[in-house]
Structure 1
Amino acid sequence: MNVLVVEDDIELNQFIQKGLQSEGIGVSVAYDGIIGRSLINEHQYDVVVLDVNMPGMNGYDLCRFVKQNWPAIPVIMLTALSSLDNKVMGFESGADDYLAKPFAFKELVFRLKALARRHPSRAPLPKRLELLNLVVDTESHQVWRAGERISLTAREYALLEYLLINQGKVISRIDLLENVWDVHFNTNTNVVDVYVNYLRRKVDHIEPKLIHTVFGVGYLMKAEP
């Protein structure tokens, strides 16, 4: 596993670097967002770890950059900003996981390995995903329905892309939580249903409806009623 750590606290950055290396994990480090962006452009990483408040480019913007260009690379936000609003901003930026400081180093290692397992190096997505008159450009993350451009948040896009990749299959809420939100434990959250409703308002305002509820199971994306 090869990890990039973008953290402007030099002491903490070096601590993480040494700790990960002792676990046999390859590590590159950057001390500001601009250098981090350059490294991401030049090298391939299995996971990217981002602080939020950094000089040059903050973690939210850098996360958006990663997800716009390499959506398969998982990102974990590692920051002292631990409020719910901050976490929402992190996930809306496309983060796959969020760990607040102070943190237990073993937990960081566990989360990195879990992300790497969940997002192994895999064949690239096709450039276009299509279902009836819905078209998704997986490189630019642009979406159209019947020729109309649809604006989605990073999380809405990730949800739509996952449903489209698995079109014709019933996807459970747990599956969506694990693969779109990277939540790997039982939870009573209704975030999946909330975001499916967001998507429906934007994507299914044109007939026929493409996102279907399979009651008691999950969701299904298909062109037929």
Structure 2
Amino acid sequence: MIKIVIVDDFKETAESLSMLYGLRKDVQIVALAHNGDQLWSILQEHEVDLISLDIQLGRENGLELCQIIHHKYPEIFTVICSVEATIENQRLAAEAGASYFLAKPVSIADISEAIDLFLRCQQDAGTDSSSLTAESLDDLFDSLG
């Protein structure tokens, strides 16, 4: 079972993402958090495999949180999920240690692609699943134009 925490400052968005992730039978939503403090409390109490993290969290910056997560919990697969899906934000997310970037609005196909990548990274013991590789980032940029 893939244990997921969703971090988004908008309750409705967090709940929508929870429903989309929850459509997968191999996923368990551990908790929803609306800020960094709530996320840290959850991580102290629960084992988590994947974090879905918005860039804008009110006064907090999701990219900064992603960087801290990457350093404190390098084994957690972090998905940046944002309406701000510019090439620059995707680059910054990769530099912050994000494993994947989802552009809002998110579909079930997008969620499945992120989960499938997580599973492939878990199966490949020689791959660091905690961050995008330079090669995968180059592939992403090539595919975007």
Alpha-carbon spacing, 1:7–1:184, altered in 2? closer, same or farther (3 Å): same
Deviates further, 92-101 or 55-64 = 55-64
The change in CA–CA distance for 1:83 and 1:20 in structure 2 (over 3 A counts) is: closer
Larger radius of gyration: 1
Q: Partner amino acid for 1:92?
A: E
2:132 to 160, 178, 181: 181
CA contact (8 A) 2:77 2:130 kept: no
Q: Report matched runs for 1:88-167 at 5 Å.
A: 88-119=91-122
SS in 1 for 2:15: helix
- Residues 1:59 and 2:62 are matched in the alignment: yes
Q: Partners of 2:111 and 2:138 in 1: how far apart?
A: 20
**1:12: Cα distance to partner?**
1.7
Match of 2:28 among 26, 39, 52: 26
Match of 1:50 in 2: 53
Q: What percent of counterpart residues are identical?
A: 19
Unpaired stretches in structure 2, ≥5 consecutive residues = none
2:75 corresponds to? 72
Structure 1 gaps, min length 5? 123-165, 167-174, 191-225
User: Quick one: distance in 2 between partners of 1:54 and 1:186?
Assistant: 28
C-alpha distance in structure 1 between counterparts of 2:131 and 2:19, whole Å: 30
Aligned length: 137
Q: Deviations over 1:45-79 (max 9, x none)?
A: 11111001003532112111211111111111000
Q: Which has the higher contact order (CA 8 A, sep 6+)?
A: 2
Residue 41, structure 1, aligned to residue 40, structure 2? no
* Structure 2 letter corresponding to 1:103: V
Contact map agreement 1:75 1:97 (CA 8 A) in 2: yes
Aligned position for 1:139: none
Letter in 2 for 1:51: D
Q: What CA distance in whole angstroms lies between the structure 1 residues aligned with 2:48 and 2:130?
A: 19
Aligned-residue Cα RMSD (Å) equals 3.0
1:3-41 deviation digits (Å, cap 9, x = unpaired): 111011211211121232232210021122221122123
Deviations 1:81-125 (A, max 9, x none): 1112111111111101111112222211221232133136x7xxx
Native 8 Å contact 1:33 1:56 kept in 2: no
CA shift digits 1:152-211 (9 cap, x unpaired):
xxxxxxxxxxxxxx7xxxxxxxx89x8852676993969xxxxxxxxxxxxxxxxxxxxx
Q: Larger % of helix: which?
A: 2
